[in-house]
Amino acid sequence: MEMDEAKAKAVTCYASHLTRSELLMRRFHNLKRLSKCYRHLYWALMKHLTTLYSHYVYALTLSPFKLLTCAFLRCNFAPMPLTSFCHFHILSDSTQNLYKPCSYVIKGAEAGPITCGKPILRSTVPALCTAHYQKAQKHLTRAFKRNGLNISSASKMAPKFNCLVTEYINLIQARRRQEAMAKKSKIVLVKENDEVDAEIV
């Protein structure tokens, strides 16, 4: 049976004219050979990837034989991946573009304001670390309460723009209602005074 298949394969490989069944058989054999090649290539790539990963892990000081520390002076923390600095000193790396310092002003000085400077992600808006973001929220909530805005809790996230707009609209409408009520009471007082004057006359 195998000899017959091999003969048929040899005949169909170089034949210039084929029947439909012979053409389908040749395509089927070619597909099997191609899938076998892809399988060999896949497992070769997997083996290569495993080797590369082991080199990567060894280079990142996860090996027990080699321990690296942060390049900052007297810092014993492990460096972050693909850099020589730990998270606390990542801003000392001039080539990194992922982090920026926290811009919260701790106190003012003659040379300029002193900011927090903790590393935060560059995409963070506002540019505050977690502790100072919560502190800023408390200050913002107090300011809202002083101005008559109904913001419920300082521990909650900052209100979104649509919430602020709604609060301002409610405040404006409440003031307009008070003004309208004051005008109505003045009109009623004027009418009563006119009636009293008319009765006297």
Count of positions (residues) in the chain: 201
Closest listed residue to residue 75, CA positions, set 67, 85, 65: 85
Q: Is the pLDDT of residue 3 over 50?
A: no
Q: What integer pLDDT is reported at residue 192 of this predicted model? A: 62
| CA pair distance 76, 78, nearest whole angstrom | 7
Ordered by start, the domain boundaries in the chain are: 2-59, 68-96, 98-158, 160-201
Q: What integer pLDDT is reported at residue 1 of this predicted model? A: 43
Residue-wise pLDDT tens digits, 63-73? 555 567 888 88
| CA pair distance 178, 170, nearest whole angstrom | 12
196 versus 164: which is more confidently predicted? 164
Q: What integer pLDDT is reported at residue 47 of this predicted model? A: 92
**pTM to 2 decimals?**
0.41
Q: Is the pLDDT of residue 156 over 70?
A: no
Residue-wise pLDDT tens digits, 101-153? 988 888 877 777 888 889 988 888 888 888 888 888 888 888 778 777 666 55
Token readout for 170 is 């409610």
Residue-wise pLDDT tens digits, 17-56? 778 888 888 888 889 999 999 999 999 999 999 888 887 7
Closest listed residue to residue 95, CA positions, set 84, 104, 103, 87: 84
